[in-house]
């Protein structure tokens, strides 16, 4: 992650006329059957309500540093559907008690117990994959005791190519914190659990330009192929043992979490590249806000950047604090959102670019829209 954290900056409003911000406000709401406009001030006047779509910083970001709010008439305000009561999956999505989220800082040990480190075999090595013959390359999220979800990009990067069986090239480390040393608990016992994989599954809508040589600049440059359907499942050779430092994330459906973008209590984390060094040895995390696909489309329309065109199973997101962005190495890392104290997996960081640009939103693979595919793979394998 560039700039000491793995999240991103919301500054794409800078340099744009207010009319463009007003368009975003109107566009986002018209797509949902409402009439809206940007109005001066931190709140809406009598007869209006703040729009439920988008965020005031996003839809009405002011180039003159004055506050504006995206407002709809009270009669047009969309009724919010109450969340579904939590199900019986009480063991998922619970952060370790000692954890405390501090925006943009290094995470503490065991803070994100479902975050998995995914390592790839060193070129030229042989034998069973281990900590000695692999290096950390990307991340994944534990969703069951034998299943990790990550991006297809991460799976292929760690496996290097399809000339060899990538199952022999990947090592998943649960309970990982510092990738430069063995992590132990307060009693000196190993905190990490190293797991080989016995199978992997790539989402059918993912397209790889060159499957025989994945580490190729052509694949890094083909952003459509790297975002659309960019999801993979890894089956572990044997189950993890749940501990305070190893837990699974919840599915959004299991905690009644809304799958609509616009949630501002979401977090990302990973071991990506920093602005001053290589891959971070400890996971970096930051708070982000997720956005509806209409927002991504409007950004694409006015920026001319096709990266934000809606791809299958994606959404876009931005950090709530400037100076940070996901970068190479953060790929496959979590985008989780707090739902009444439990964290649900909404997406995965799907940023493959070598260049880390903190002036743009980042694309995330949307796990919620491929839930049926995930269920079917796990049930039949």
Tens of pLDDT along 306-355? 555 567 688 888 777 666 666 777 889 999 999 888 999 999 998 655 55
Q: Contact at 8 Å (CB) between 139 and 115? A: yes
Which of 80-94, 122-136, 232-246, 364-378 has the lowest average pLDDT? Answer: 80-94
Q: How many Cα neighbours within 13 Å face the side chain of 370?
A: 30
CA atoms within 13 A on the CB side of 132: 4
DSSP bridge pairs for 339: 342
Structural domains of the chain in order of their starting residue, each with its CATH number: 18-76 (no CATH), 115-380 (2.40.10.120)
pLDDT of residue 64: 53
Q: Are 153 and 222 in contact (CB under 8 A)?
A: no
CB 67 within 8 A of CB 41: yes
Question: Are residues 327 and 271 in contact, defined by beta-carbon separation less than 8 angstroms?
Answer: no
d(CA 222, CA 150): 19
* Burial of residue 355, with CB atoms counted within 10 A of its CB: 0-12 exposed, 13-18 middle, 19 or more buried: exposed
The model's pLDDT over 246-292, given as tens digits with 9 standing for 90+, comes to: 999 999 888 876 655 556 688 988 887 676 667 777 888 878 888 77
Q: What is the pLDDT of residue 87?
A: 37
CA 349 to CA 267: how far, in whole Å? 11
Instruction: Sort strands 362-366 and 342-349 into parallel, antiparallel or unpaired.
Output: antiparallel
Per-residue buried b or exposed e for 87-122, using 16+ beta carbons within 10 Å of the residue's own CB: eeeeebbbbbeebebeebebbbbbbbbbbbbbbbbe
* Helical (H) or strand (E) element with 337: strand 334-339
The answer to whether the pTM exceeds 0.75 is no
The neighbour count for residue 222, using CB atoms within 10 Å, is: 16
């Amino acid at each position: 992650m560039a700039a000491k954290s793995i999240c991103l900056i919301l500054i794409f409003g800078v340099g744009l006329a207010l009319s463009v911000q007003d368009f975003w406000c109107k566009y986002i709401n018209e797509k949902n059957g409402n009439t809206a406009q940007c109005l001066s001030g931190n709140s809406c006047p009598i007869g209006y309500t703040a729009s439920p779509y988008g965020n005031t910083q996003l839809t009405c970001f002011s180039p003159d540093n004055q506050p504006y709010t995206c407002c709809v008439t009270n009669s047009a305000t969309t009724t919010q559907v109450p969340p579904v009561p939590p199900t019986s999956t009480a063991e998922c999505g619970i952060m370790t008690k000692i954890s405390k989220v501090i925006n943009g800082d290094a995470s503490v040990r065991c803070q994100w117990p479902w975050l998995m480190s995914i390592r790839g075999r060193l070129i030229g090595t042989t034998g069973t994959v281990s900590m000695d013959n692999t290096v950390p390359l990307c991340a994944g999220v534990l969703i069951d005791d034998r299943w990790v979800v990550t991006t297809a990009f991460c799976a292929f990067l760690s496996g290097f190519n399809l000339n060899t069986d990538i199952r022999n090239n990947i090592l998943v480390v649960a309970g990982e914190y510092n990738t430069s040393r063995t992590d132990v608990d307060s009693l000196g016992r190993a905190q990490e659990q190293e797991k080989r994989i016995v199978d992997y599954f790539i989402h059918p809508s993912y397209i790889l330009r060159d499957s025989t040589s994945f580490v190729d600049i052509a694949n890094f440059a083909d952003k459509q192929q790297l975002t659309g359907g960019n999801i993979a499942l890894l089956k572990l050779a044997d189950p993890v043992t749940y501990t305070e430092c190893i837990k699974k994330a919840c599915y959004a459906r299991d905690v009644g979490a809304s799958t609509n973008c616009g949630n501002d209590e979401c977090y990302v984390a990973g071991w990506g590249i920093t602005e001053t060094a290589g891959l971070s040895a400890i996971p970096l995390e930051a708070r982000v806000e997720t956005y509806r696909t209409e927002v991504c489309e409007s950004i694409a329309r006015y920026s001319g950047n096709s990266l934000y065109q809606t791809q299958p199973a994606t959404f876009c997101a931005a950090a709530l604090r400037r100076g940070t962005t996901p970068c190479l190495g953060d790929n496959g890392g979590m985008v989780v959102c707090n739902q009444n104290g439990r964290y649900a997996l909404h997406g995965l960081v799907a940023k493959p670019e070598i260049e880390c640009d903190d002036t743009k939103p980042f694309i995330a693979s949307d796990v919620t829209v491929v839930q049926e595919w995930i269920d079917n793979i796990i049930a039949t394998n």
